[in-house]
Amino acid sequence: MDQDQDTVQSTLDAEALQDAEVLRDAVERARELIRCGFQEPDEIAESLVEDLDDQGLTMEEAERIVAPLWRERLEEQASWPDTTDVDRLEAAFDALEELGIVAAMDFTCCANCGYAEIGGEAEEGSRGFVFFHQQDTERAADGGALMLRYGGFQVDGEPTESAVRRTAEVGREVVTALTAAGLPTEWDGSPETAIAVTPISWLNRLPE
């Protein structure tokens, strides 16, 4: 093999290695998002393209990656218990909604955005809120604790002390609902501390 052929072969080998790395990264990320259980296949494919935009992954390639992994997860679900911890979580959130507490799952990308946007979910009579964001979801799906953010909706002219007490009250109601649903929690009672649902087995059924 002459020098030009060596150069061409090296380029091909490098491209093949890069393609393999992109595929590995895409599959790993797709599995993570599928485990979370909130996105549809096309949404996961779009997320892959966005996450790997510097590696040239196309939408068509992303869809081909997601499809078999989605089927694999559906097959796994057949062996799951009738009621999972995520089902219990959803039941607790439904109960909190009945009490006038806005309860949002997988809400926004991060805590800052969640706190900024949760007011838009409030309805007449809403007293407070609880939510976990997408990074919280991914952490729980990876085996960690699920962290819940909560608080009382601010009332114009309300003293700070009153707002703090109301936030703590919402926190207690959240813990009570989670306990009633059969989920363990860790919380020190402080309105400045997030509520941890731990341990939690993250089995979230895929959207139908």
Residues 113 and 165 in one domain: yes
- pLDDT confidence tier of residue 18, bands split at 50, 70 and 90: low
Residues 90 and 180 in one domain: yes
Domain that residue 49 falls in: 3-77
pLDDT for the residue 19: 80
Q: Which long-range contacts (CB under 8 A, 24 or more apart) does 147-151 make?
A: 147/194, 147/195, 147/196, 147/197, 148/174, 148/194, 148/195, 148/196, 148/197, 149/111, 149/114, 149/115, 149/194, 150/101, 150/174, 150/194, 150/195, 151/115, 151/191
Residues 191 and 89 in one domain: yes
pLDDT for the residue 161: 87
Q: Is residue 114 part of a domain?
A: yes
The whole-chain average pLDDT of the chain stands at 91
Beta bridge partners of 104: 131
Residues 111 and 173 in one domain: yes
| Arithmetic mean of pLDDT, 62-76 | 96
pLDDT for the residue 2: 52
Q: Is residue 72 part of a domain?
A: yes
Q: Is residue 207 part of a domain?
A: no
Is the pLDDT score of 200 beyond 70?
yes
Is the pLDDT score of 4 beyond 80?
no
Q: How far apart, in whole angstroms, are the C-alpha atoms of residue 135 and residue 107?
A: 9
> What percent of the chain stands above pLDDT 90?
80
Residues 179 and 89 in one domain: yes
pLDDT for the residue 8: 31
Residue finishing a domain among 77, 93, 114: 77
Q: Is residue 16 part of a domain?
A: yes
| Arithmetic mean of pLDDT, 110-127 | 96
Q: What is the pTM of this model?
A: 0.89
Residues 67 and 142 in one domain: no
* Three-state secondary structure readout of the chain: CCHHHHHHHHHHHHHHHHHHHHHHHHHHHHHHHHHHCCCCHHHHHHHHHHHCHHHCCCHHHHHHHHHHHHHHHHHHHCCCCCCCHHHHHHHHHHHHHHCCEEEECCCCCCHHHHHHHHHHHCCCCCCEEEECCHHHHHHHHCCCCEEEEEEECCCCCCCHHHHHHHHHHHHHHHHHHHHHCCCCEECCCCCCCCEEECCCCCCCCCCC
Q: Is residue 104 part of a domain?
A: yes
Residues 104 and 14 in one domain: no
Q: Is residue 54 part of a domain?
A: yes
Residue finishing a domain among 25, 56, 77: 77
pLDDT for the residue 85: 98
How many domains, in total, are found in the chain? 2
Residues 53 and 145 in one domain: no
Residues 89 and 108 in one domain: yes
Is the pLDDT score of 5 beyond 50?
no
| Arithmetic mean of pLDDT, 82-110 | 98
Residues 64 and 89 in one domain: no
Q: Is residue 185 part of a domain?
A: yes
Residues 62 and 96 in one domain: no
Q: Is residue 203 part of a domain?
A: no
Lowest-confidence pick of 12-26, 140-154, 176-190: 12-26
Residue finishing a domain among 13, 44, 77: 77
Residues 57 and 94 in one domain: no
Is the pLDDT score of 208 beyond 90?
no
Instruction: Read off the pLDDT of residues 43-56 as tens digits, 9 standing for 90 and up.
Output: 999 999 999 888 88
